[in-house]
């Protein structure tokens, strides 16, 4: 028996979103626009927040962190898809495939936990304003940010190790444009029952923040409804409305993808993943900045500073 296991593992083939050439072209053009917008938008948010001392508070630090995660999150899949399309190749090595999966899971979790931190921050600010600075202390913020990365990596590691130890015999066509856990499990010829259990635990860990977000917003709305003036209600709603839009987009598409039996997964579901892998990281900076006066002022300042230099 030969020992060079690794060299016998063939490349995986990324089938794209439908497996059809025309749709690959559409995806390529879409990503060609989305990716630079995502990078620029999120980078501007980080620069604007760090250069404006009025934005040096937890809400904006979390937003900067969200942008930071989003830059990496979209870089896990989009550049590979673009490069492969240019090279007319669909191949990805086994190690590349597992790397993509690892960072996809780690960053999606970091994203998810950061969104929860943002919701909790707003809930405390709106319903317990007098205790805000003691509850959301700088130390607590750092804890939440570091915690989101720790949970992300802790959730990614078991799935990656377990998937890496599976056998793949023959069929290596991954039914998506990147290496995602569901299409990979479907390809394996090993017994995947344990992997599937761990996968659903992972989906659970990923969904805990959603629960925190829902509880935070229930608290926000119950406080807002007690504010006598309609002006106060509208202001509070506009602050949180943008956040809720992102959250619904993100979790709506994620849940459509993972909250169901593995057997029902097919290539046509890959389209759904474009939404949270590529579209939400692009929309985040716009949704958070366009309706936010302080953020817009900071961006204007950033540009005028650059121009006057
Ligand atoms: C993330 O948050 C921490 C703590 O709130 C902050 O110190 C750090 O600068 C933020 N990161 C970015 C990229 O803004």
Q: How far is 220 from 121, CA to CA, in rounded Å?
A: 10
Indicate which atom in ligand 1 lies nearest the CA of residue 58: 5
CA 283 to ligand 1 center in whole angstroms: 20
Q: Rounded to whole angstroms, how far apart are CA atoms 198 and 47?
A: 39
Q: Report residues whose beta carbon is within 6 angstroms of any ligand 1 atom.
A: 46, 61, 64-65, 68, 141-142, 145
Name all domains of the chain by residue range, CATH numbers in brackets: 19-308 (1.20.1070.10)
CA of 50 to the centre of ligand 1 (A): 9
| Residue 178 three-state SS | coil
Residue 173, classed as helix, strand or coil, is: strand
Atom of ligand 1 nearest to the CA of 64: 14
3-state secondary structure 211-241: HHHHHHHHHHHHHHCCCCCHHHHHHHHHHHH
Ligand 1 centroid–CA 46 distance in Å is 9
| Ligand 1 centroid, distance to 190 Cα (angstroms) | 43
Q: By alpha-carbon position, which residue is closest to atom 13 of ligand 1?
A: 65
The Cα–Cα gap between 184 and 294 comes to: 44
Give distance in angstroms: CA of 61 to centre of ligand 1: 5
Contact between 160 and 94 under an 8 Å Cβ cutoff? The reply is: no
64 CA to centre of ligand 1 in angstroms: 7
Rounded to two decimals, the pTM is: 0.89
Strands 12-14, 173-174: pairing is: parallel
| Three-state SS at 89 | coil
Residue whose Cα lies nearest atom 8 of ligand 1: it is 61
Provide the greatest CA pair distance for the chain.
78
Rounded alpha-carbon distances, angstroms, from residue 305 to 42, 222, 290, 294: 19, 42, 20, 16
Would you say 286 and 299 are in contact if contact means Cβ atoms under 8 Å apart? Answer: no
First vs last C-alpha separation in the chain? 67
How many whole angstroms from 122 Cα to the centroid of ligand 1?
17
Q: Which of 64, 140, 148 to mutate to test the pocket of ligand 1 (most atoms within 8 A of CB)?
A: 64
Nearest alpha carbon, ligand 1 atom 2: 61
- pLDDT tens, the chain, 309 aa long: 344 445 567 789 998 888 788 888 999 999 999 999 999 999 999 999 999 888 899 999 999 999 999 999 999 999 999 999 999 999 999 999 999 999 999 999 999 999 999 999 989 988 888 999 999 999 999 999 999 999 999 999 999 999 999 988 888 889 889 999 989 999 998 999 999 999 999 999 999 999 999 999 889 888 888 877 777 677 767 767 777 877 888 888 888 888 888 888 888 788 888 888 899 899 888 887 777 788 888 888 888 876 665
Q: With CA atoms as reference, report the closest residue to 31 among 293, 197, 290, 278.
A: 278
How far, rounded to the nearest angstrom, does the alpha carbon of residue 77 sit from its chain's CA centroid? 12
């Amino acid at each position: 028996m030969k020992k060079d296991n690794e060299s016998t593992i063939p490349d995986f083939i990324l089938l794209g979103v439908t497996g059809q050439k025309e749709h690959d072209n559409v995806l390529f053009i879409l990503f060609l626009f989305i990716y630079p917008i995502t990078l620029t938008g999120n980078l501007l948010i980080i620069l604007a927040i760090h250069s404006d001392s009025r934005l040096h508070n937890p809400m904006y630090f979390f937003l900067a962190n969200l942008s930071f995660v989003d830059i990496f999150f979209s870089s896990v899949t989009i550049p590979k898809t673009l490069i492969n399309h240019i090279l007319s190749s669909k191949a990805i090595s086994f190690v590349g495939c597992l790397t993509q999966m690892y960072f996809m899971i780690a960053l999606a979790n970091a994203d998810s936990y950061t969104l929860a931190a943002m919701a909790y921050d707003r809930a405390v600010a709106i319903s317990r304003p007098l205790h805000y600075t003691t509850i959301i202390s700088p130390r607590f913020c750092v804890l939440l940010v570091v915690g989101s990365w720790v949970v992300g990596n802790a959730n990614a590691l078991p799935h990656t190790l377990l998937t890496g130890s599976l056998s793949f015999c023959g069929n290596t066509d991954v039914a998506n444009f990147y290496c995602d856990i569901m299409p990979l499990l479907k390809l394996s010829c090993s017994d995947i029952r344990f992997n599937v259990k761990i996968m659903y635990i992972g989906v659970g860990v990923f969904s805990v923040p959603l629960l925190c977000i829902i509880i935070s917003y229930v608290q926000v709305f119950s406080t807002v409804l007690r504010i006598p003036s309609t002006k106060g209600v509208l202001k509070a709603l506009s602050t949180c409305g943008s956040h809720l839009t992102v959250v619904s987009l993100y979790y709506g598409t994620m849940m459509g993808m993972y909250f169901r039996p593995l057997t029902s997964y097919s290539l046509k579901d890959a389209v759904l993943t474009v939404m949270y892998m590529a579209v939400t990281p692009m929309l985040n900076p716009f949704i958070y900045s366009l309706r936010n006066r302080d953020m817009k002022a900071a961006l204007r300042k950033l540009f005028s500073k650059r121009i006057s230099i």
